[in-house]
């Protein structure tokens, strides 16, 4: 088996982030956690993931501080998985992936889920990148300043 390359010490924030959440199962687990899934059996049933794979992903996400375990909210002996502050910080990542998928992976007439404002039931606005002054920016109007660079 090929050993996984780690990016935990990379100078690039994208590489470091992918070191923590860079596989589809981890992102789908995080997505489901935002939707209120908390128990191992609920993750397993909803995702159709093998129990061993799920156990590994949940352990990794917990060890990396994205999830934590807590006593079951119903008072039973079970433990539940809840997003930490670090995990909740991934909300915009999940929304960005969702909106990209909506833009490029569906036919206009194809049925799909929608992210809506709980107060109004209206779909949320599209995400956009803004400058410190509030102006909209595209990728051509930004650049990465490398670590140690100007």
Domain ranges of the chain: 13-141
Long-range contacts of 87-90 (CB under 8 A, 24+ apart): 87/30, 87/33, 87/61, 90/21, 90/30, 90/66
At residue 4 the predicted structure's pLDDT band, cuts being 50, 70 and 90, is low
CB 68 within 8 A of CB 58: no
pLDDT at 2 over 60: no
Question: What is the average pLDDT across 119-144?
Answer: 96
Other C-beta atoms within 10 Å of 107: how many?
Answer: 7
Helix (H) or strand (E) run with residue 62 in it? helix 51-63
Give the strand pairing for 79-83 and 129-130.
unpaired
CATH fold group of domain 13-141: Arc Repressor Mutant, subunit A (1.10.10)
- Give the C-alpha separation, 10 to 148, whole Å: 13
Confidence of residue 24 (pLDDT cuts 50, 70, 90): very high
pLDDT digits (tens, 9 = 90+) for 134-150: 999 999 999 999 987 65
User: In whole angstroms, how large is the CA radius of gyration of the chain?
Assistant: 18
Per-residue pLDDT tens over the stretch 84-119: 999 999 999 999 999 999 999 999 899 999 999 999
């Amino acid at each position: 088996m090929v050993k996984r390359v780690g990016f935990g010490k990379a100078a690039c924030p994208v590489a470091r982030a992918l070191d923590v959440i860079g596989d589809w199962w981890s992102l789908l687990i995080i997505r489901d956690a935002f939707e209120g899934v908390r128990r191992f059996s609920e993750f397993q049933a909803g995702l159709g993931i093998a129990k061993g794979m799920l156990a590994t992903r949940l352990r990794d996400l917990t060890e990396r501080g994205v999830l934590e375990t807590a006593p079951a909210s119903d008072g039973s002996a079970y433990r539940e998985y809840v997003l930490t502050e670090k995990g909740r910080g991934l909300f915009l990542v999940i929304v960005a992936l969702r909106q990209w998928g909506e833009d490029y992976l569906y036919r206009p007439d194809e049925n799909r889920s929608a992210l809506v404002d709980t107060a109004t039931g209206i779909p949320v606005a599209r995400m956009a990148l803004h400058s410190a002054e509030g102006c909209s920016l595209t990728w051509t109007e930004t650049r990465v300043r490398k670590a140690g660079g100007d």
